[in-house]
């Protein structure tokens, strides 16, 4: 993810785990959306004329994607983590939970049940 649009829940540099599906399970669910040549991770609200894409960080305005612009929900965000940076002296330090999430994402990707989206 890039920026502070989804703070305090999601942070710059984190990786989102996404379960592929073409609609949100409920109003305001955090989803990955493809629209206008970009991918967004936002809270999604369905309206008659299109999708409202809302940042968690309230300093940002909502975005509106009309149905004419063909916005597409890629999937729902099921988790997120921050990859650890490599420490040259001590090698890679990866907390156990992050390691498990990393391995799990590859297993699920192979089964085409989720996708990973940065930004």
**Residue 4, domain member (yes or no):** no
User: What is the value of pTM for the model shown?
Assistant: 0.65
**Residue 5, domain member (yes or no):** no
**Residue 6, domain member (yes or no):** no
* Domain of residue 25, CATH code: 2.10.109.10
pLDDT of res. 57: 82
- Residue range 11-34, pLDDT digits in tens: 666 777 889 999 999 999 999 899
HEC string of the chain equals CCCCCCCCCCCCCCEEEEEECCCCCCCCEEEEEEECCEEEEEEEEEECCEEEEECCCCCCCCEEEEHHHCCEEEEEEEEEECCCCEECCCEECCCHHHHHHHHHHHHHHHCCCEEEEEC
**Domain range for 103:** 15-118
């Amino acid at each position: 993810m890039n920026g502070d649009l989804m703070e305090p829940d999601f942070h710059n540099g984190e990786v989102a785990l996404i379960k592929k599906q073409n609609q949100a399970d409920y109003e305001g669910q955090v989803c990955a959306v493809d629209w206008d040549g970009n991918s967004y991770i936002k809270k999604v609200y369905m309206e008659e004329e299109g999708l409202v894409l809302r940042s968690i960080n309230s300093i940002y305005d909502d975005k509106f994607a009309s149905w004419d612009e063909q916005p597409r929900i890629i999937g729902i965000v099921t988790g997120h983590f921050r990859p650890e940076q490599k420490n040259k002296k001590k090698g890679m330090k990866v907390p156990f939970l992050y390691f498990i999430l990393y391995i799990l994402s590859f297993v699920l990707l192979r089964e085409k049940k989720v996708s990973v989206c940065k930004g």
